[in-house]
Structure 1
Amino acid sequence: MDNEEDLEALGEKLYDLIYPKHADMAPKLTGMLLELPRAVISQMLQDEALLTNALERALAALHPDTSKPPSQADDVDSVSSDSLGEQLYELINLYNTGYTQKITGMLLEQEKKVVLQLLSDPVLLEEKVNMALKTLQGSSCSQSQGDTDVSDGSDQDEVEVIGEKLFALVRDIEPAHCADITGMLLEMDLGTLHQILSDRTMLEVAVQRAKIARENALSQAQPETN
């Protein structure tokens, strides 16, 4: 009963925040956001930007783009992996798992149609996030049991924290491809990552290099269409 009362109290607070912005849709939007984990809901109540972001995703799920014919293979193929990755990253980031970058990468390995479904179905997304989280936590546990050096686990946690900070900085510099570029930069060693986090000029240089490398890789991968 306490959990139900707690959820009801969160719902009332959410509704009060949502109603001034989306009066007609407030009940529906509140219900959708209440499907998120309690910790995420509590954070949204304190962070207006986070709430706004979550509302935009919920509205997009309720009102998908109907200007194109639905469920056509061409439409699915035309959606860029960058766009999907960035949208998925922002949604997964709401769960505060500490593994946002890795879970995003894991889910992006699925077919585009499946990824698009995850973006529009918060219940399915939460299920997939929890499954990926269990996989990651299980592998980190087995690794720590098999290794006497526990620094690998702590390093991995540190990379995740750095990834969260790095994504926000990269998004300011290169918003169009921030997810891909962040992933490329995270391949650097920890010392270099700490440097670029504290040195804006060094970060901008690293982002530009990653952007050029990414564009070169894409141009080589794309077949001639002439």
Structure 2
Amino acid sequence: MMNDEEDLETLGEQLYSRIYPKHKESAGKLTGMLLELPGPVLRQMLQDEVMFSSAVEKALRALQSQEPSKITCKDVDEDEVSASSDSLGEQLFELVDVYSTGQSQKITGMLLEQHKDAVLNLLSDPKLLEEQVNLAVKTLKDQSMEETDISNSSDADDTERLGEKLYSLVEAMDPLNANDITGMLLEMEAPALQQLLSDNTMLKIAVQKAQAALPT
């Protein structure tokens, strides 16, 4: 099993070979910036083209807007307002998604219920994050077993009820596009919708993404 330095070197070579064709002049700097991110995130990036492109774009923006000597990992991972709960939610979601595809939104919402300092610790400590994610997965499995019988009730009634609640919350954020945004969000599965209803931060993020997808 390779040690951390060898592992980092291998990841660096893979990142550089992916970045170089499109960003020849800044490939070295961009690779160095991305290598500041946690190992699990880097490995996921190399397998996920969308995640990889997004990270490279963030690093590129940071590189273009600041002096290269002043660029740090935070410029890549927290290039928007790091103190903002919206920003924390987005960053945490990206990291959680590495560990648990399919339940990432629920788990992110659960972790965001902690104090902001604790959430920041999760962003900087992959081992701690993995422990918290595993614990959340176990909790969700237990809840799922308890709710199996209840979930067999009418799906149509559930969707209508969720839609009404969701619309009232979305309308408060964007009255003009509330109908369109609610319709887009209702395409999500019921458990994810329930998470949005109970977590205002995740709802804001979802609404912002829906707004960006609306035709101009």
Give the TM-score normalised by structure 1: 0.45
Give the TM-score normalised by structure 2: 0.46
